[in-house]
Amino acid sequence: MTAAAVIESPWVRAMPLVFVGIWSTGFVVARYGMPHAPPLGFLAWRFALSVLAFGVWIAFTRPSWPNGRAQWGWLALVGVLMHAGYLGGVWSAIKSGLGAGTMALVAGLQPVLTALWVAWAGSEHRVSARQWAGLALGLAGLVLVVWHKLGVGEVNAGNLAVALLALASITVGTLVQKARVQPCDVRTANTVQLLAALVVTAPLALALEHEPIVLHPELMGAMAWSVLGLTLGGSSLLYLLIQRGAATRVSSLMYLVPPCTALLAWALFDELLTPGVLIGLVLTAIGVGLVVREPGRR
C-alpha cells in the first residue's frame, strides 16, 4: 500500500472525529468517578493500569521502542505535561469547585495559544488569515456553548491556578511533541509517557491527598473507560494526530470537545441544551473547518 493510499484511507480521515468523540467523554468520566476518589489518586491508578494494558499489548505485538536517550527524555517530558499536568490540573480544578463549563472554556484557549506560538516562532506553515478567522469563530462558538455554565462552581485563586496549569501543560506538550519527538510506535511511545506521568503523579497523590478511594460501581466504570477508551484510544489517537498534522490544526480539534461534552451531558444527565449552545455548536464546527481545511481546497 502506498503512502498516498494510507493518507487517503477512510480510517485516517475519520481519526479526528473519533478522537473528538472519545476525548469529549472526559468530563463525563470525571462526573461519575470524582465523588468516589481524589483526583490524583484516581489518575495514578489510571496511569498504572494503562501501562499494564499497553504492556500486554506490546508483549503480544512486539513493536519497536524509541531510539536513543533523547527521544525517551522528550517522550517522558510530553507525558508529564499532557498526562500528569493536563489531566491533574483539570481534575483538581473541578474537584476544588471550578465548574466544568469554566474549565472547558479555559482549556478551549489552547488552539489560540498554539496559533500565537506558531505565528511568533515560525516553526510551521504560517497561520493564514482564514485560519485566524476560524480560530476566532471557534472561540466564539465555544464561549456560547459554556457561557450558561460559568456560574457553576466558585472561581478562586487555587482552582484557577491549576486550570491554567492544565492549559499550559497541554499546549506546551503538544508543541514539544510536534517539534522534538520523532515518529515512533504509538504503543511504546505512550508507555514511556504514561510511566513518566505515573512517576510524577503517584508521589503527589500520596503526599497531598488523604481521601480514600471507594470501590463504587460508578468509579470502576469510570476507571475502565479511562484506561481503555481515553488512554488507550484517545491518547493514542492524539499522539498519531500530532505526529501527522500541524500543531495549529490538531489543537483546533479541542474546540469541538466542549460542544460534544455539552451534547453528552444533555443526553446522559438532562443538562439544558439552550439555543445559544446550539448556535455555538454550529459556529465551532465552522471555525474548526476553516482551520483544518487544506490550502486551495474548496
Within 8 A by CB and 6+ apart from 30, the residues are 90, 91, 94, 100, 222
Whether residue 44 contacts residue 198, with contact meaning beta carbons closer than 8 Å, is answered with yes
Q: Cα separation of 113 and 15, whole Å?
A: 23
> Taking Cα atoms as reference points, which of 104, 107, 138, 130 lies closest to residue 288?
138
Q: Cα separation of 70 and 146, whole Å?
A: 40
Which residue do the cell numbers 463525563 mark? 28
Number of C-beta neighbours around residue 240 at 10 A: 17
Which three cell numbers mark 3?
503512502
Whether residue 101 contacts residue 146, with contact meaning beta carbons closer than 8 Å, is answered with yes
| pLDDT digit string (tens) for the chain, length 298 residues | 444 444 456 766 777 888 888 888 887 787 788 889 999 999 999 999 999 999 999 999 999 999 889 999 999 999 999 999 999 998 888 788 776 667 777 777 777 777 777 767 665 556 678 878 887 887 787 777 767 666 555 567 788 888 889 989 999 998 898 888 888 898 999 999 999 999 999 999 999 998 999 999 989 999 999 999 998 888 888 878 877 765 566 667 777 777 787 778 777 767 667 787 778 778 877 877 777 665 554 4
Cβ-in-10-Å burial (0-12, 13-18, 19+) of 285 comes to middle
Query: Where along the chain do its domains lie?
Result: 3-292
Q: Cα separation of 158 and 98, whole Å?
A: 10
The pTM assigned to this predicted structure is 0.79
